Structure 1
Amino acid sequence: MTKQNEALEKISEKQQEIASDWFQYWEDFSSFSTWPFWFHVVMFVVPLIVLYFKLDRKKALELGFFGLNIHVWFAYFDTLGTRQGFWTYPFQMLPFLPNSVGLDASLVPVLFILLYQWVKNHNKNYYFYAFLLSLILSFGLKWFFVSMNLFKFHMGANYFHLLLTYLVILGLSKWIVDLFLHFQKEAQ
């Protein structure tokens, strides 16, 4: 076995052990019988129901593409933050899903889809209102999560770092959607 294969095997074994530890932790502290589990389920399901009723179906593809961008970037950044130890989520909906699937796949994307829809329909400044919502989410929602022990900072990470993350993600998502809309308009 080569040195690379040995190193890879060692990392794989550690990952399997950590996955097993997370599953046991989830069973002990975050399973179906706990309020955090149901909190995460509600945070995942309710925004999707709201989106179903509030989505402007004439712009569904654009709004969905924007929301998908938000979801993917938040999942990447959240994974980076948790893997590097900047923050943790003490409770998870399911141990084999990303740590904050309710936030990254539902609540945050839906909030920003509805914001994006509103600014488009009312000809408002996206960046201004996205900044306001980012302030509310990073300093308000995450503060609530910290106070309820649903989110923990480590290694000097703080709310301001979350705000910067939100702003980068919102800028990237908007620019990507604008680029594809430009391509579409050029082709017509």
Structure 2
Amino acid sequence: MNQHDLYMKIFNMKEELGGLIKEHWQLYSNMGTGYFWLNLATVIVPLIAWLFLVDRKRVFEIAFFGFFTHVLWYMIDSFLTSGNYFNHPHSLFYLLPQGISVSAVLFPVVFMLLYQYCTNHKKSFWIYSVIGCFLFAYGYGLLMISIDMVRLHKGMNLLYLSLIDVAVVFIAYVMTLLFLKLRQKG
């Protein structure tokens, strides 16, 4: 098979896959289902909570940390989803990436608020975040698995998700510390 034929085969399969995802959403995840409303609440409620709870004096620092967690988890989520290690059978909308409500909103908001709490109260963010990551994976993750919002495949499990959470939060924290150092030097 030459390059053009292979490209066209990939293109056609992606078109077919897009149609199947749309059909699945229309049948099982549409606005008439609890899955849709749970996804919507997972976006709206954390954002409203963050707006009320964020330390306004440090909003850019905290938002930088949250943005970094969002970008990292979104990239990892995309990789895990495309490799079928991790799947979100019910997304907010079929045109949006799977799992966007968790990787773009819920996870970053939870850990932005934890970051804010630890830094404001001189608590060890390293320790609190490890505990938070395991609670997030085993608490929220287990709940999402039990109601079919998340499916794990190919040996993926909650321990691995916990460790990924830890890695994401630690990298975001280190990058935020570097960002703060750069700001002090400027």
TM-score by length of structure 2 reads 0.97
Which blocks of at least 5 consecutive residues in structure 1 are unaligned?
none
Partner of 1:33: 32
RMSD of Structure 2 on Structure 1 (CA): 1.1
Partner of 1:80: 79
Deviation at 1:181, TM superposition (A): 1.0
Partner of 1:130: 129
SS in 2 for 1:156: coil
The sequence identity of aligned pairs, in percent, is 27
Letter in 1 for 2:178: L
Find the aligned partners of 2:4 and 2:177 in 1 and give their Cα distance.
44
Runs of 4+ aligned structure 1 residues displaced above 6 Å come to none
Partner of 1:167: 166
Deviation at 1:15, TM superposition (A): 1.0
Partner of 2:63: 64
Letter in 2 for 1:35: G
SS in 2 for 1:7: helix
Deviation at 1:139, TM superposition (A): 1.0
Find the aligned partners of 1:176 and 1:54 in 2 and give their Cα distance.
23
Partner of 1:108: 107
Deviation at 1:89, TM superposition (A): 1.1
Letter in 2 for 1:37: F
SS in 1 for 2:112: helix
Deviation at 1:8, TM superposition (A): 2.0
Letter in 2 for 1:109: P
Deviation at 1:6, TM superposition (A): 2.5
Q: How many residues end up aligned between the 2 structures?
A: 186
Per-residue CA distance 1:111-140 (angstroms, 9 max, x = gap): 000000001100111110001110111111
Letter in 1 for 2:155: G
1:151 aligns with 2:181: no
Which blocks of at least 5 consecutive residues in structure 2 are unaligned?
none
Partner of 1:12: 11
Find the aligned partners of 2:179 and 2:67 in 1 and give their Cα distance.
13
Find the aligned partners of 2:5 and 2:166 in 1 and give their Cα distance.
41
Find the aligned partners of 1:154 and 1:93 in 2 and give their Cα distance.
21
TM-score by length of structure 1 reads 0.96
